Amino acid sequence: MSPCVFLRGAHWKVWEGWLAVGFLRGARIELLQMDADGMTVGTATVADLPKQRIRSLVLGPDSAVYVAVDAGEIWRLERAER
């Protein structure tokens, strides 16, 4: 496990308040729903990301999550509308 950030902003919809966790070794981002005691009660995986080691997650002023990866790139993630 590596970087993490809580999702904030109405556009995250049901993921509002969930914890986004980046994994170096697993090259993925997991979303964790926490209860009042800090226990995980729900999970989701961010799909279709290129296989890169996740170095940093930052919540931007626009409520998007900015992801720094080993390749030196910065990705912008936001919830897709369905």
What pTM was estimated for this model as a whole? 0.86
Residue 21: closest CA among 49, 2, 43, 46: 2
* For range 61-73, the mean pLDDT: 93
* Per-residue confidence (pLDDT) for residue 52, from 0 to 100: 87
DSSP label at 36? T
* Per-residue confidence (pLDDT) for residue 1, from 0 to 100: 56
Residue 80 — very low, low, confident or very high, per pLDDT cuts 50/70/90? Answer: low
In this model, does residue 82 exceed pLDDT 60? no
DSSP label at 17? T
Q: Which residues contact 52 (CB under 8 A, 6 or more apart)?
A: 27, 69, 70, 71, 73
DSSP label at 12? G
Q: pLDDT tens digit string along 5-64?
A: 999 988 898 899 999 999 888 788 999 999 999 999 999 998 888 888 899 999 999 999
Q: For residue 21, give the H/E element and its range.
A: strand 19-23
